[in-house]
Amino acid sequence: MNIILLGPPGAGKGTQAQRLVAALGMVQLSTGDMLRAAVKAGTPVGLKAKAVMDAGELVSDEIVSGIIGEALDQLAPDVGVIFDGYPRTAAQAESLDALLGARNRQLDHVIELAVDEDALVDRITGRFTCASCGEGYHDRYKTPKVEGVCDRCGSTEFKRRPDDNEETVRTRMAEYRAKTAPILPIYEERNIVSRVDGMADIDEVSNAIVTILDR
């Protein structure tokens, strides 16, 4: 099964992808995570992407579709994929069709996480992750069970993203509205879009997604 989690920054894509990975053994392909790893490693892709990401704008279609193609090639053919943060433009949606087709994969579901824009700044400015395993947290909505200790791996190191500030979030939301939301009709025409209330509790959102995937 191959699915896309679609929604604006802070909608809960990464949170839900991590849960699907744990529950169903699928693999999460997050272009944001892969780009941040490239920036950290100082690769040519990372060097090109850094300033664009810091500004909250979109990295080029060629770069992100390139890294998705490379990531798909690392996977066993029968493992299910969750696309998180990709595709974000019509050109990327077209590339994804070609990348999947060339690997005998098909897109089964596009899950749209519907959220209130007003809540997103709050979600994003409160976001932090475990520096060791990447588990996602929030200052108020998802705190570690023991303060300062990661639930999943026990690490005491956490980090925040440099682009998770109010100004950049506004640009990222504008990019979503202008370039990403318009790709939904491509998938609606194929009857593979399901809309989930992303404002519900994290557990409720997970249950709604699993119900859709079980159909």
| Residue from 10, 68, 105, 109 in contact with ligand ADP (CB under 6 A) | 10
**127 part of the active site:** yes
Spatial distance between the Cα atoms of 192 and 109, rounded to a whole number of angstroms = 5
Shortest separation between residue 78's beta carbon and ligand ADP, angstroms = 26
Instruction: State how far Cα 207 lies from the chain centre.
Output: 18
Catalytic pick among 103, 152, 161, 179: 161
| Residue from 9, 82, 113, 196 in contact with ligand AMP (CB under 6 A) | 9
Burial degree of 95 (CB within 10 A; 0-12, 13-18, 19+)? buried
Name the token pair of 147: 């303060």
| Residue from 2, 3, 6, 7 in contact with ligand ADP (CB under 6 A) | 7
Spatial distance between the Cα atoms of 32 and 164, rounded to a whole number of angstroms = 12
**88 part of the active site:** yes
158 near ligand ADP, rule: CB under 6 A:
no
Shortest separation between residue 67's beta carbon and ligand AMP, angstroms = 9
- The answer to whether 115 and 60 have CB atoms below 8 angstroms apart is no
Instruction: State how far Cα 147 lies from the chain centre.
Output: 26
Closest CA to 114 of 13, 15, 189: 13
Nearer to ligand AMP, 12 or 205 (CB): 12
127 near ligand ADP, rule: CB under 6 A:
yes
Amino acid found at 20? L
Amino acid found at 207? N
Shortest separation between residue 188's beta carbon and ligand ADP, angstroms = 20
| Residue from 53, 67, 110, 173 in contact with ligand AMP (CB under 6 A) | 53
Closest CA to 59 of 29, 82, 97, 33: 33
Nearer to ligand ADP, 2 or 18 (CB): 18
Interface with ligand AMP by CB under 6 A: which residues?
A: 9, 31-32, 35, 52-53, 56-59, 64, 85-86, 88, 92, 172
